[in-house]
């Protein structure tokens, strides 16, 4: 039997499973979490996907590194603005910062659907904001 072309060469690192992901971003001055749901595909260092949140429908494309866990992508809302994301995956999803242009930035946390206890913790408890993202100027850029 031949492999399904849609699943051929998908990432096998368990931190980067292709499929449904969820998570949230926070905005300056607001403690509210803004939830996102989307589908991500990880293949050979390239990530892409689509989803939606309260702003609207979006597509995303970027890169990830299985050695460092570092990820970068651009989320483009259909007919609207774009958002740059930069984060780190250390086995509990991807945590980092998002930026619109250079003037608006804050934190996010995303994870694969059903990932351990993260869904239950975030939906049932009021957890603190995600930890600040690492200072990328001190890390080597491999993406």
pLDDT of residue 8: 77
What pLDDT sits at residue 17? 95
Supply the pTM of this predicted model.
Answer: 0.78
Question: Domain spanning 19-130 has what CATH number?
Answer: 2.40.128.120
Q: Which residue has the tokens 């809302």?
A: 77
Residues 6+ apart with CB under 8 A from 22: 35, 36, 37, 38, 110, 111, 113, 119
Q: What does the pLDDT look like over 77-89, one tens digit per residue?
A: 999 999 999 999 9
Give pLDDT tens digits along the chain (143 positions). Answer: 334 556 778 999 999 999 999 999 988 888 788 889 999 999 999 999 999 999 999 999 999 999 999 999 999 999 999 999 999 999 889 999 999 998 899 999 999 987 655 555 555 555 555 555 555 444 444 44
Half-sphere exposure at residue 71, Cβ-oriented, CA atoms within 13 angstroms:
34
Neighbours of 74 (CB within 10 A): 13
């Amino acid at each position: 039997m031949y492999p399904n072309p849609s699943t051929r060469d998908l990432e096998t690192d368990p931190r980067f499973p292709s499929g449904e992901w969820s998570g949230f971003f926070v905005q300056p001055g607001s403690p509210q979490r803004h939830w996102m749901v989307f589908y991500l595909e990880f293949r050979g260092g390239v990530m892409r996907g689509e989803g939606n949140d309260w702003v609207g429908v979006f597509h995303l494309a970027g890169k990830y590194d299985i050695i460092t866990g570092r990820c970068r992508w651009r989320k483009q809302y259909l007919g609207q603005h774009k958002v740059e994301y930069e984060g780190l995956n250390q086995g509990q999803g991807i945590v980092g910062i998002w930026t619109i242009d250079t003037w608006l930035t804050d934190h996010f946390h995303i994870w694969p659907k059903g990932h351990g206890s993260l869904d239950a913790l975030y939906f049932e408890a009021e957890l603190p904001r995600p930890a600040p993202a690492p200072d990328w100027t001190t890390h080597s850029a491999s993406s």
